Amino acid sequence: MQKKTAKIKFRYIFDFGNSIREVFNIEIDHSTGKSISKNTDNLPEWSKLDFKQCPNCPLDKKETEYCPTATALADTARRLGQTLSHAEVDLVVISEERWVGKRTTSQKAISSLLGFQIATSGCPNVDFLRPMARFHLPLSNPDETLTRAVGMYFLKQYYLAQAGGQFDVNLQGLAKNYSELQTVNSSIANRLRSSGEITELNAFAALDQLAQIIPLQIEDALEDVRLLFMEH
């Protein structure tokens, strides 16, 4: 088994051609899956907690000055907020285990980065995504995301049952989690739009659309893969 380190590093490299490149280095805690590479210097006003705060936010501005998610996205919004969503980009994501690369649209590439940053931001309403972020799969498609989300949710239920809790076999909690995520996505998009710093929100819209689709497709998606788990 590979020796565990205290932190896990990811590097997102966006190559737009014509010597235009943006690099994002993200470090997350090995045990918690939370980002430990937050930059709290010169944060914009729109990243403060009470700037268009999410209606389902459990945080108190008296105790928390900045929104964890907005803080995580501030640098990305500043550097990629004007990028046209249909522009092509060569994306390479590097971790200790592997390189993942693809030529794709800026919308899909940025959406992958945003999703990872949101999941590791420390926002209480998206904490359920941290296990998936810990085992990050860049550029995953909707089917891969849904399968991983269900698998991680059931693993959490296993740990809860071991501690004496009730196993949610019907995935009701997962649907509720994604409902909360929809609210966060919508509110963050509104925050970014109001900031004036970002003009292209299609990458964020793609994330929100995925959050809306997953609760509706859980049963159908599980039925599609049922045969994989049956004896033949």
Q: What is the pLDDT of residues 199-224, one digit of tens each?
A: 666 666 665 665 666 666 677 777 77
4: left (phi over 0), alpha (psi -120 to 50) or beta: beta
pLDDT in tens, 60-89: 999 999 999 999 999 988 888 877 778 899
Three-state SS for 39? coil
Q: How far is CA 147 from the centre of its chain?
A: 15
Name the pTM for this structure.
0.88
Please check the confidence at residue 158 and state whether its pLDDT lies above 70.
yes
- CB-neighbour burial class of residue 226 (10 A; exposed 0-12, middle 13-18, buried 19+): exposed
CA 115 to CA 184: how far, in whole Å? 12
CA 139 to CA 148: how far, in whole Å? 13
- As a whole number, mean pLDDT of residues 166-180 equals 91
CA 182 to CA 186: how far, in whole Å? 6
Between β-strands 99-105 and 88-94, what pairing exists: parallel, antiparallel or unpaired?
A: antiparallel
Q: Which single residue is written with the structure tokens 């899956």?
A: 33
The ranges assigned to domains in the chain are 8-229
Cα-based distances in Å from 174 to 40, 115, 217, 218, 231: 32, 17, 12, 9, 27
